[in-house]
Every structure is written in structure tokens, then in C-alpha cells.
């Protein structure tokens, strides 16, 4: 075999079934042939050894290969007994010869038939392997590719055409989702931008009273919160769709850029930043990956203790490239961690847990899954959380 056959391979199982069936059929035919030939030899060997007088018996024995011992056999037993012994010896010899040579023939032909069955099943299953390869490429990259199998009508051709039709519908559905996201972004953010402008103009008037200015500041804060929520929802919707731009990205460079933008916030909170940024090459959407790491660092800063520690690490491991962000904070029980990755779910008994929209880690996991990776969190000793995202390493 040119490569290792995976366990449970359909090709291997079909070949094994064909080979076993041939060996069973060959063994049955061979056993029947042995019975028929044995009966035939018992009949034909009786002709050269008829019950006769002693001199004819001795004359017949003298013509055998072991004629040197014919006198001894003649003295030891009657002529009929000698004839029966000779016939049994010859019959056993011929049966043994037939069994050995016939058995080797069955084995040789069986091995050849099994090899031919392996080659034949490989050719028959080649379209299925093509369908599988195309499905794997589509799952990792884009819905634009099709199988387009050029084969005669049959079960495999119908399967490939059905798969192409399903991909066409999925492609149209995702294209419609992208258009909906773009239109929703425009329709939702435009009124908020207009309302923010009107409030800022009203607050900036010289005749505005203190109550009006206070109300304007509250409205601007609410408006800003709504804008962040809409941005998070649109990002989450975009993260769950297949990325359109797949480019080489180093998570270490992205993490360094995010830390630079968070530097002022870290200084205000008196946070100690410990960055260990080793190269972590991946392939993906740069904007989504930047949003993912930005959410990780933003959560770590937002829910950190004053004068706490912010740990950011990137690198590679046997499982792939990773980025890990940890912070100090209130103790979190292991059973509470799954809740953190669900949309709009917060730990309501934690101080400051209601400041966010509840979508930060949901976006992180969605981006990781879109890039065939995963996100996991673990509580830290003494309080706080460490979130690690692992993505397939770029070749």
C-alpha cells in the first residue's frame, strides 16, 4: 500500500470481504475436488491390483518402485492383503500430493485475487475520495468550490451532484447573511450617530443649563453603550460565518499591537504587564483575529484588580499556535466557566461583571471556531482567569 490505510477504511473492508469470500469458495471447491478425486482413485487403483494367485501377486509387486522388498511382503501377508496395502499407500501419497499442491495453488490465486480486489475497490471508491477531499477543503476555506464530478450516471454521480447543490444553497445563504449584516450595520448605526450628534450640539450650546448638560452626558453614555453593543453583535455574526480573507498572521505581532493600544488603560489601573510573545504563525482573517485578541485583553483589563497582573503569552505547541491571556481577579469556580462563553451571560454576583455586554468571550470562541480552533478558560490560583485560544499552525 502506498500509504497507511485508516482504521475502518471502506476500501480495506471491501477488500477483506472479497478476499475472505474467495478463500472460502476456493476451500469449498478444493475440498469437493479432494473427495471426488479420492473416490475416483479408489475405483481406478482397484484395477491394477485384482485378487489373484500368489505368483501374479508377486509379479505385480515386482513392478512397483519398492520391488526389492516384494519377497518379504509376500512372505508376510497374503496376496490380497498386499494388494490392499499397496493401494492404500499409493492413494495416500496421491492425496497428500494433491492437497499440498492444490492448497498452495489456492493460496497463490487467493493472494492475487485479493490484490486485484484492492486495486479494483480503489478505482471504484476514487470518486468518494474526491468528494471527501473536496468537503475537507470547503470546510476549511470557502464555499465557492464544487466537486463537479465527471462520471457516468450512478449512485456516486448522484451523491456528488447532491453535494454540489447543497453547497450552492449554503453559498447563497451565507452571501445573504453577509448582505444582511452590512445592511444592518448601516441601518442601526446611522440613527445612533445622528442622535449622538444632536445631543452633542444641544450640550454645546451656550444657553444650555446644567441639567441639560447632565442629561446630555447621560444620553451620550447610553448611546455609546448601544454603539458598542451593535458593534459586538455584528462582529459576532461576522465571526460565525466563513472568513473571506485568509492571510498569514502572526499572533505575537497582533498581541503586541493590542497591548500598545491598551497601554494607557493599564497605567491608569496600575497593572503590571508580563508579555512573553513568541512567534505564533496562523492563517486567517486579520481583522477577526485582532478583534479576538482585543476582546481577550480588554476583558483581562476590565475585570482585573487594581495593581494586578496582566499575563499575555503567544507561541506554538503540538496542538497548534496559541495566545493566552490571564489576569488577577475574584475567584471563579470551574463550573462557572462555561457560562462565560455564552452570549449575554454574565456572572452577576461579581463586582463589575455588568459593565460589559456579555459578548466578549462569545466573540472569542466564535472567531476561534471559524478558524478551526478552540478557546478554553481555566481559573487561576488565588483568583482570576486564564483564557487560551489555540488555532491550527500555518504551514
Residue with cell 459578548: 359
Q: Residue 240 pLDDT more than 70?
A: no
Residue 355's pLDDT is what? 54
Query: Cα 227 to the chain's mean position, in Å?
Result: 39
Q: Which of 350, 373, 372, 346 is nearest to 358 (CA)?
A: 346
Q: Return phi, psi of residue 314, to 5°.
A: -135, 160
Q: What 3-state class would DSSP assign to 333? A: coil
Residues 61-86 have a mean pLDDT of: 49
**How many Cβ atoms sit within 10 Å of the Cβ of residue 100?**
10
Residue 10's pLDDT is what? 65
Residue ranges, comma separated, of all CATH 3.30.565.10 domains in the chain are 247-391
CATH match for 247-391 among 3.30.465.10, 3.40.50.620, 3.30.565.10, 3.40.50.300: 3.30.565.10
Q: Return phi, psi of residue 350, to 5°.
A: -100, 145
Query: Cα 300 to the chain's mean position, in Å?
Result: 32
Residue 87's pLDDT is what? 64
Q: What 3-state class would DSSP assign to 314? A: strand
Q: Residue 276 pLDDT more than 90?
A: yes
Return the C-alpha cell found at 181.
Answer: 449584516
Residue 201's pLDDT is what? 87
Q: Residue 313 pLDDT more than 80?
A: yes
pLDDT in tens, 196-211: 888 888 888 888 888 8
Q: Which of 35, 33, 50 is nearest to 87 (CA)?
A: 50
Q: How far is CA 374 from CA 141, 285, 319, 371, in A?
A: 17, 16, 11, 8
Residue 106's pLDDT is what? 74
Q: Are 258 and 297 in contact (CB under 8 A)?
A: yes
Q: pLDDT: is 178 or 385 the higher one?
A: 385
Q: Residue 260 pLDDT more than 60?
A: yes
Q: How far is CA 382 from CA 106, 268, 333, in A?
A: 73, 23, 11
Distance CA 61, CA 66 (A): 8
Q: Residue 279 pLDDT more than 50?
A: yes
Confidence of residue 239 (pLDDT cuts 50, 70, 90): low
Q: Are 371 and 392 in contact (CB under 8 A)?
A: yes
Distance CA 376, CA 380 (A): 13
Distance CA 137, CA 157 (A): 19
Identify the weakest region by mean pLDDT among 87-91, 157-161, 310-314. 87-91
Residue 39's pLDDT is what? 62
Residue 358's pLDDT is what? 67
CATH number of the structural domain 155-239: 1.10.287
Q: Residue 229 pLDDT more than 80?
A: no
Residue 49's pLDDT is what? 52
Q: Write the Ramachandran bin of 174: left for phi over 0, alpha for psi from -120 to 50, otherwise beta.
A: alpha
Residue 251's pLDDT is what? 94
Chain-wide mean pLDDT for the chain?
A: 76
Distance CA 353, CA 334 (A): 17
Distance CA 77, CA 66 (A): 16
Q: Residue 83 pLDDT more than 70?
A: no
Q: What 3-state class would DSSP assign to 272? A: strand
Residue ranges, comma separated, of all CATH 1.10.287 domains in the chain are 155-239
Q: Are 389 and 291 in contact (CB under 8 A)?
A: no
Confidence of residue 67 (pLDDT cuts 50, 70, 90): very low
Distance CA 349, CA 176 (A): 40
Residues 296-313 have a mean pLDDT of: 90
Residues 287-291 have a mean pLDDT of: 87
Identify the weakest region by mean pLDDT among 34-38, 207-211, 280-284. 34-38
Which residues on adjacent β-strands are paired with residue 148?
none
Q: How far is CA 71 from CA 17, 51, 66, 77, 83, in A?
A: 57, 18, 11, 10, 14
The rounded percent of the chain whose pLDDT value lies above 90 is: 15
Distance CA 76, CA 334 (A): 95
pLDDT in tens, 317-364: 998 999 999 999 888 888 888 888 887 666 644 544 445 566 778 888
What pTM, to 2 d.p., does this model score?
0.54
pLDDT in tens, 101-153: 777 777 777 787 778 777 777 777 777 777 777 777 665 555 667 777 777 77
Distance CA 54, CA 71 (A): 11
Amino acid at each position: 500500500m502506498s500509504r497507511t490505510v485508516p482504521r475502518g477504511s471502506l476500501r480495506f473492508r471491501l477488500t477483506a470481504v472479497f478476499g475472505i469470500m474467495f478463500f472460502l469458495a476456493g476451500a469449498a471447491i478444493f475440498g469437493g475436488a479432494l473427495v471426488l478425486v479420492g473416490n475416483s482413485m479408489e475405483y481406478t487403483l482397484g484395477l491394477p491390483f485384482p485378487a489373484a494367485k500368489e505368483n501374479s501377486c508377486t509379479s505385480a509387486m515386482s513392478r512397483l518402485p519398492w520391488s526389492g522388498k516384494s519377497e518379504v511382503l509376500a512372505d508376510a501377508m497374503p496376496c490380497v492383503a498386499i494388494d490392499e496395502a499397496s493401494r492404500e499407500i499409493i492413494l495416500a501419497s496421491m492425496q497428500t500430493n494433491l492437497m499440498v499442491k492444490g492448497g498452495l495453488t489456492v493460496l497463490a490465486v487467493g493472494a492475487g485475487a485479493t490484490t486485484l480486489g484492492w486495486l479494483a475497490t480503489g478505482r471504484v471508491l476514487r470518486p468518494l475520495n474526491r468528494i471527501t477531499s473536496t468537503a475537507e477543503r470547503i470546510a476549511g476555506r470557502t464555499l465557492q468550490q464544487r466537486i463537479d464530478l465527471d462520471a457516468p450516471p450512478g449512485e456516486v454521480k448522484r451523491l456528488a451532484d447532491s453535494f454540489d447543490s447543497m453547497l450552492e444553497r449554503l453559498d447563497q445563504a451565507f452571501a445573504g447573511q453577509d448582505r444582511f449584516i452590512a445592511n444592518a450595520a448601516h441601518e442601526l448605526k446611522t440613527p445612533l450617530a445622528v442622535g449622538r450628534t444632536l445631543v452633542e450640539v444641544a450640550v454645546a450650546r451656550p444657553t444650555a443649563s446644567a441639567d441639560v448638560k447632565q442629561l446630555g452626558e447621560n444620553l451620550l453614555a447610553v448611546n455609546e453603550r448601544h454603539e458598542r453593543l451593535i458593534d459586538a453583535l455584528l462582529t459576532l455574526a461576522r465571526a460565525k460565518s466563513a472568513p473571506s480573507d485568509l492571510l498569514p498572521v502572526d499572533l505575537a505581532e497582533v498581541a503586541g499591537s493590542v497591548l500598545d493600544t491598551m497601554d494607557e488603560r493599564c497605567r491608569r489601573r496600575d497593572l503590571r504587564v508580563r508579555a512573553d510573545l513568541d512567534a505564533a504563525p496562523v492563517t486567517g482573517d486579520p481583522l477577526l483575529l485582532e478583534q479576538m485578541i482585543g476582546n481577550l485583553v480588554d476583558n483581562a483589563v476590565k475585570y482585573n484588580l487594581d495593581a494586578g497582573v496582566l499575563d499575555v503569552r503567544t507561541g506554538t505547541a503540538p496542538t497548534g499556535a496559541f495566545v493566552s491571556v490571564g489576569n488577577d481577579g475574584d475567584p471563579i469556580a470551574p463550573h462557572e466557566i462555561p457560562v462565560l462563553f455564552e452570549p449575554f451571560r454574565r456572572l452577576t454576583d461579581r463586582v463589575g461583571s455588568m459593565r460589559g455586554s456579555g459578548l466578549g468571550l462569545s466573540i472569542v470562541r466564535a472567531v476561534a471556531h471559524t478558524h478551526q480552533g478552540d478557546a478554553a478558560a481555566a481559573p487561576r490560583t488565588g483568583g482570576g482567569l486564564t483564557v487560551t485560544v489555540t488555532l491550527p499552525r500555518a504551514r
